[in-house]
Amino acid sequence: MEYSEILSLLGRHGVRVTPNRVLVAMALAEEKRPLSMTELEDRIETVDKSGIFRTLEIFKEHHLVHAIEGSSEGTRYELCLSEDDENDDDAHVHFYCEKCHKTFCLKDMPIPKVTLPNGYEATGSSYVIKGTCPECSGKR
């Protein structure tokens, strides 16, 4: 994703552009899979841990990242490429490999719709399947 696309994505989600926010968004955009906080720290040496954390919290508030839980490294993050901060039209299933401990996006598999009982109000969802990835199972 190019710099101008990152700026456009931040704008669509109502996130003010700062150097740290652009760096975090660029690091997330460069990967094909969700990243942990530690992986982001390793990739962005010019922003400290608290700066990355604050940026991710702002991104979550504006629906600019998906926070995927369920891996041994804790929460992983990926950019939400929906058109605005109200409608998350790119939510999808994730796969966590119990062998290599990587989380993969299954972008062509939307999260199944769930009807909640009366009185329940969903604010988000995360759908993670666990198992062994093709590389670890030797079935590439």
Q: What CATH number corresponds to the domain at position 68?
A: 1.10.10.10
pLDDT computed for residue 118 by the predictor: 94
Report the predicted TM-score, pTM, of the whole model to 2 decimal places: 0.77
- Give residue 84's identity as a one-letter amino acid code: D
| Structural domain containing residue 111 | 3-79+88-137
Residues shown for the chain: 140
Closest CA to 138 of 100, 111, 107: 100
What span, in angstroms and rounded, lies between the C-alpha atoms of 59 and 54? 9
Number of domains in the chain: 1
- pLDDT, tens digit, 9 for 90 and up, residues 87-98: 566 778 889 888
Cβ contact 35:42 at 8 Å: no
